[in-house]
């Protein structure tokens, strides 16, 4: 199950409602969601892939992924975070294949070492196939990141070992000092948002920890029913707006984890993350289009169709589209979503 319902507001002005981050080609000729499916295909065949997105993106995702059955690309009626939409997927899968083991994956991450990554996926699926295990994948941190949640593993956990171990606890996004302590301790891993379990295991946990939402999802008619989508439109907006981490994983007992290492993983969370992942010139500049950098360092330029010349400019992001231009300090790239909020208040639907 690939979660592809986000708007990618930190990638404005390239990312819009109908062409959000996950369908953008930021690295090569394939979009982020196409690359996600490409990575999974040696483990999960396209006909067993389900994509949960929104009404704005569904048509574009169907166009980009003809190998995935269109009926398995679903649009959520309302954004309700990850706990309810995963429950919807689990409910559908349980009715179709009671023996299924489901993996949950973000649509918009980058993983440089795909072969090594698939070794962890196979190990996670095997662990989730035994008993009633809930399995998560942790990413060995490379710096003291404050923008990710963390998973605490036992002291003697060996990064890169394909044997699952008990997760001690999930930790919220830390402040800078706490993140430095996490990195130094060596047993805290980034929570990459990849989970594995049998559908009924997740649904049982949801009934325990989020019973009202679990009841709403359980009330839906079978996916094969003509009434399914009508009922979904009425029911899904009533579900709680909460992430799977808060709703289930932080409360569940006996969660197992795989502590990965050296996957060259990134959640591509901002324009600065794109800058960090691309090749830079001798002065640290990245040009996605024609550019001249004179006495300028550490800049990212993406302005297809025109020459951009920078003189005496340092550490900026410049992204130009037909109807909007973004110029931002690279260190503040996470705050681009604040521009989108301003546009929403101004009712600038043409720019959203």
The two structure tokens encoding residue 135: 């399995």
pLDDT of residue 163: 94
Q: Which fold has domain 2-133+189-246?
A: Spore Coat Polysaccharide Biosynthesis Protein SpsA; Chain A (3.90.550)
Q: Are 161 and 201 in contact (CB under 8 A)?
A: no
Q: Are 89 and 1 in contact (CB under 8 A)?
A: yes
Q: Are 189 and 259 in contact (CB under 8 A)?
A: yes
| Distance in angstroms (rounded) separating the CA atoms of residues 55 and 58 | 6
Each domain of the chain, given as residue ranges in start order, spans: 2-133+189-246, 271-351
| φ and ψ at residue 317, rounded to 5 degrees | -110, 125
The two structure tokens encoding residue 283: 């002065």
| Distance in angstroms (rounded) separating the CA atoms of residues 128 and 132 | 7
Token pair 């546009």 in the structure block, residue: 343
pLDDT of residue 240: 98
The SS3 of residue 115 is: helix
**72-89 burial code (b ≥16 CB/10 A, e <16):** bbbbbbeebbbbbbbbbb
| φ and ψ at residue 295, rounded to 5 degrees | 50, 45
The two structure tokens encoding residue 106: 């973000």
pLDDT of residue 284: 98
Closest listed residue to residue 191, CA positions, set 211, 165, 167, 225: 167
Q: Which residues of the chain have pLDDT under 70?
A: none
| φ and ψ at residue 349, rounded to 5 degrees | -60, -30
pLDDT of residue 262: 84
| Distance in angstroms (rounded) separating the CA atoms of residues 132 and 197 | 7
C-alpha to C-alpha distances, 247 to 51, 84, 114, 125, 330, nearest whole angstrom: 21, 9, 30, 22, 34
Q: Is 129 left (phi over 0), alpha (psi -120 to 50) or beta?
A: alpha
Expressed in percent and rounded to 5, the helix, strand and coil fractions of the chain are 35, 20, 40
Q: How far is CA 235 from the centre of its chain?
A: 25
pLDDT tens per residue across span 245-270: 999 999 999 999 999 998 999 999 99
Q: Bridge-partner residues for 156, per DSSP?
A: none
pLDDT of residue 131: 84
pLDDT of residue 277: 96
**2-22 burial code (b ≥16 CB/10 A, e <16):** bbbbbbbbbbbbbbbeeebbb
Q: Where are the alpha helices (DSSP H) in the chain?
A: 32-40, 58-64, 82-96, 114-128, 176-185, 199-209, 211-218, 228-235, 244, 271-277, 336-345
| Distance in angstroms (rounded) separating the CA atoms of residues 343 and 288 | 26
The two structure tokens encoding residue 296: 């300028």
């Amino acid at each position: 199950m690939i979660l592809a319902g986000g708007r990618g507001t930190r990638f404005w002005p390239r990312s819009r409602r109908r062409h959000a981050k996950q369908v953008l080609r930021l690295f090569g000729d394939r979009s982020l969601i196409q690359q996600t499916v490409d990575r999974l295909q040696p483990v999960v065949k396209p006909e067993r892939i389900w994509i949960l997105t929104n009404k704005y993106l569904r048509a574009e995702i169907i166009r980009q992924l003809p190998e995935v059955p269109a009926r398995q690309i679903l649009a959520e009626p309302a954004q309700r975070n990850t706990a309810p939409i995963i429950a919807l997927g689990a409910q559908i899968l349980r009715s179709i294949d009671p023996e299924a083991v489901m993996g949950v994956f973000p649509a918009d991450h980058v993983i440089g070492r795909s072969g090594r990554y698939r070794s962890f996926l196979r190990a996670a699926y095997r662990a989730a196939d035994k008993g009633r295990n809930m399995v998560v994948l942790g990413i060995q941190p490379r710096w003291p990141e404050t923008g990710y949640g963390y998973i605490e593993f036992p002291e003697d956990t060996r990064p890169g070992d394909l044997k699952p171990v008990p997760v001690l606890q999930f930790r919220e996004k830390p402040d800078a000092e706490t993140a430095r302590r996490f990195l130094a301790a060596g047993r805290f891993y980034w929570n990459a948002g990849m989970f594995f379990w049998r559908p009924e295991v997740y649904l049982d946990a949801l009934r325990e920890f989020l019973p009202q939402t679990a009841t709403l999802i359980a009330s839906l008619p079978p996916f094969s029913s003509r009434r399914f989508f009508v009922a979904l439109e009425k029911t899904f907006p009533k579900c709680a707006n909460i992430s799977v981490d808060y709703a289930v994983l932080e409360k569940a007992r006996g969660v197992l984890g795989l502590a990965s290492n050296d996957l060259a993983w990134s959640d591509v969370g901002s324009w600065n993350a794109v800058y960090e992942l691309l090749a830079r010139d001798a002065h640290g500049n990245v040009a996605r289009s024609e550019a001249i950098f004179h006495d300028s360092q550490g800049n990212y330029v993406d302005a297809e169709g025109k020459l951009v010349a920078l003189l005496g400019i340092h550490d900026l992001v410049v992204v130009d589209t037909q109807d909007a231009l973004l110029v931002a300090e690279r260190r503040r790239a996470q705050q681009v979503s604040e521009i989108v909020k301003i546009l929403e208040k101004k009712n600038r639907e043409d720019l959203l």
